[in-house]
């Protein structure tokens, strides 16, 4: 490994790796060095890992995207050099590969997948192991922001036996932002221009084995199903256009089994390839509330036929609503403006129903249009200003679903982050407005659902269900100020709210409404050795919450 002339004779090895853990800023007894080259198609990365105890090199192999196993090296690129997010490529000593996207706030998206090559070799005679990575430019999104061609770069090594972490460019445990703290690689100037069109047609056959329901003409034990469709990708200078027609999710990893004994909805991570491209661009979260929850598109039908007893009446099972087509444009231009637009249409879906031997069809989901637009401007990673709008429109015409489901829903949000004193202090604000419209009965049902519970006894003095309403409107958000960054003492003060009529669940995710709260936090952290401790943190937090009636909750 690493015996090609490219690694032996070209370029210069960088050896400035230092420990982050267990002893911050200490030179390791197991040194690391790396080289990086690129041509018109690929980035080539070579990493050489000397080990003071070679017989304990951990080569454990697990599943792909499990980066918790084995001695590991990784490389991440902030290709736009905007300090927001970076694709990362990991490989352990056993050759186990992981790819992910990590954001400046250390949010990790392990569902992102890229096509790349990596191999490793262990040389016990030399007390070392090495890794070689070959990453196609086609898997990265970038533009040439300046003549210097500067990318953010982070190279890391982990030695499992003593939880040792080494960084090529030091990112201290007390840092001012993960991606913000990356090192830099210059002269990324002669890069291949984004070009090309990719088409991926598919055909699929599906066999389902399920329990037999006696007497049911639908749940007979075995079902066959076929499907066809196509995905396409277009590289448009600074942006990427993804399109799909009747997308193929046959190979998508299944969701884990969950036992939910609460009245609240279970949240599932997105795993469908189309929605993972540029996912961080379309993120807009206020705490745990999200303006855009991709699993709403193509999810389970909103309505199930009523009165099904599986004795005299039976209904066909509809797992998901078909996505007729979707289009998404994402990217960042050379002026630091990030944009994302998504448009999707899901099909009108019906389920066959048999009652006392008479078969009919009932509509379980109307034809629905989903639209999302997101924009954010970044000024050198210290100021971020952006906004987002979403809409959901259901075409129900004279369908009886009009009495059950809302007709349309809209939301608009604005976000602002400002850092001061080299990111030591910050102001973080998000504000969202939502509006849901429908028939009187549909809005009455919305008022009664677990997100709102307008009918609860404790809310009668200021809420109560209004059966004449045809819309539900509200606001939500937070304002947070604090001190963090590379400092021992840190603090924050947060004020947040969601009004009773606030609702994002047409295309977003909201667990509950009707509260305002404040949270105060102060703490002390030390990342250097102190007595018998390698690091320590002391935090004092107080949190208060009230509903809009002034009662603590």
Tens of pLDDT, residue by residue over 311-356, are: 888 888 888 888 999 999 998 888 889 999 999 999 999 999 988 8
- Spatial distance between the Cα atoms of 276 and 115, rounded to a whole number of angstroms: 14
Which of the following CATH numbers is that of domain 5-185: 1.25.40.10, 1.10.540.10, 2.60.40.1190, 3.40.50.300? 2.60.40.1190
- Spatial distance between the Cα atoms of 91 and 64, rounded to a whole number of angstroms: 10
φ/ψ of 402, rounded to 5, equals -60, -25
Q: CA nearest 487: which of 416, 419, 429, 422?
A: 422
Concatenate the DSSP letters of all residues of 117-134 into one string: EEEEEEEGGGTEEEEEEE
pLDDT of residue 253: 62
Buried b (16+ CB within 10 A) or exposed e, 228-262: ebebebbbeebbbbbbbebbbbeeeeeeeeeeeee
pLDDT of residue 147: 66
Tens of pLDDT, residue by residue over 83-113, are: 989 999 999 999 999 999 999 988 888 888 8
User: For residue 255, what is the DSSP state?
Assistant: P
pLDDT of residue 262: 85
Sign, Cα dihedral of 214, 215, 218, 221: positive
pLDDT of residue 515: 95
- Spatial distance between the Cα atoms of 220 and 432, rounded to a whole number of angstroms: 47
Q: Which residues of the chain register pLDDT less than 50? A: none
Residue 29's contacts (CB-CB under 8 Å, 6 or more residues apart) are: 52
- Spatial distance between the Cα atoms of 149 and 187, rounded to a whole number of angstroms: 5
The pair of three-digit structure tokens given for residue 485, joined into one six-digit string: 């960054």
The pair of three-digit structure tokens given for residue 449, joined into one six-digit string: 């659902």
- Spatial distance between the Cα atoms of 495 and 545, rounded to a whole number of angstroms: 10
- The reported pTM is 0.88
pLDDT of residue 542: 96
- Spatial distance between the Cα atoms of 462 and 81, rounded to a whole number of angstroms: 50
pLDDT of residue 195: 64
φ/ψ of 24, rounded to 5, equals -65, 135
5, containing H or E segment: helix 5-9
- Spatial distance between the Cα atoms of 397 and 150, rounded to a whole number of angstroms: 54
- Domain boundaries along the sequence of the chain: 5-185, 197-546
């Amino acid at each position: 490994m690493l015996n090609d002339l490219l690694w032996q004779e070209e370029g210069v090895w960088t050896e400035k790796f230092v420990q982050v853990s267990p002893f911050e800023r200490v030179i390791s007894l197991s040194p690391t060095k790396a080289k990086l080259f690129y041509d018109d198609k690929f980035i080539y990365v070579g990493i050489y890992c000397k080990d003071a105890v070679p017989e304990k090199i951990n080569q454990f192999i697990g599943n792909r995207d499990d980066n918790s196993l084995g001695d590991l090296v990784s490389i991440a690129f902030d290709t736009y050099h905007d300090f927001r997010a970076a694709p990362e490529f990991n490989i352990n000593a056993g050759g186990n590969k992981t790819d992910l996207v990590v954001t400046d706030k250390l949010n990790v998206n392990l569902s992102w997948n890229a096509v790349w090559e990596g191999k490793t070799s262990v040389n016990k005679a030399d007390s070392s192991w090495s890794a070689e990575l070959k990453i196609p430019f086609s898997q990265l999104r970038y533009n040439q922001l300046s003549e210097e061609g500067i990318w953010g770069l982070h190279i890391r090594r982990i030695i499992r036996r003593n939880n040792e972490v080494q960084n090529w460019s030091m990112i201290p445990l007390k840092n001012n932002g993960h991606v913000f703290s990356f090192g830099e690689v210059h002269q990324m100037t002669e890069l291949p221009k984004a070009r090309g069109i990719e088409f991926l047609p598919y055909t699929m056959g599906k066999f389902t084995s399920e329990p037999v329901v006696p007497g049911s003409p639908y749940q007979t034990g075995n079902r066959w199903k076929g499907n066809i469709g196509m995905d396409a990708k277009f590289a448009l200078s600074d942006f990427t256009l993804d399109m799909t027609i009747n997308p193929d999710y046959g190979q998508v990893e299944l969701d884990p089994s969950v036992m939910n004994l609460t009245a609240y909805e279970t949240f599932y991570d997105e795993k469908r390839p189309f929605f993972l491209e540029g996912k961080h661009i379309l993120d807009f979260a206020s705490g745990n509330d999200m303006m855009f929850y991709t699993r709403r598109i193509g999810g389970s039908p909103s309505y199930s036929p009523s009165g099904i007893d599986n004795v005299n009446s039976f209904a066909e099972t509809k797992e998901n609503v078909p996505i007729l087509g979707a289009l998404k444009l994402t990217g960042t231009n050379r002026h630091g403006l990030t944009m994302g637009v998504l448009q999707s249409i899901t099909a009108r879906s019906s389920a066959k129903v048999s009652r006392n031997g008479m078969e009919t069809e009932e509509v379980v989901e109307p034809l629905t249009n989903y639209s999302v637009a997101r924009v954010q401007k970044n000024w050198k990673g210290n100021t971020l200003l952006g906004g987002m709008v979403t809409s959901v429109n259901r075409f129900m015409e004279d369908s009886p679903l009009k009495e059950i489901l809302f007709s349309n829903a809209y939301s608009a949000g604005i976000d602002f982050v400002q850092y001061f004193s080299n990111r030591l202090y910050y102001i973080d604000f998000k504000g969202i407005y939502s509006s849901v419209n429908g028939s009187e009965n549909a809005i009455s049902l919305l008022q009664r659902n677990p997100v709102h519970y307008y009918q609860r006894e404790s809310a009668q003095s200021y809420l109560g269900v209004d059966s004449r309403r045809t819309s539900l409107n509200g606001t939500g958000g937070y304002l947070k100020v604090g001190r963090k960054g590379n400092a021992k003492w840190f603090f924050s003060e947060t004020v947040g709210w969601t009004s009773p009529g606030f609702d994002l669940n047409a295309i977003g995710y909201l667990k509950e409404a009707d509260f305002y709260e404040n949270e105060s936090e102060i703490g002390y952290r030390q990342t250097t050795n102190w007595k018998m401790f390698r690091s320590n943190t002391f935090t004092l937090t107080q949190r208060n919450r009230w509903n809009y009636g002034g009662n603590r909750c």
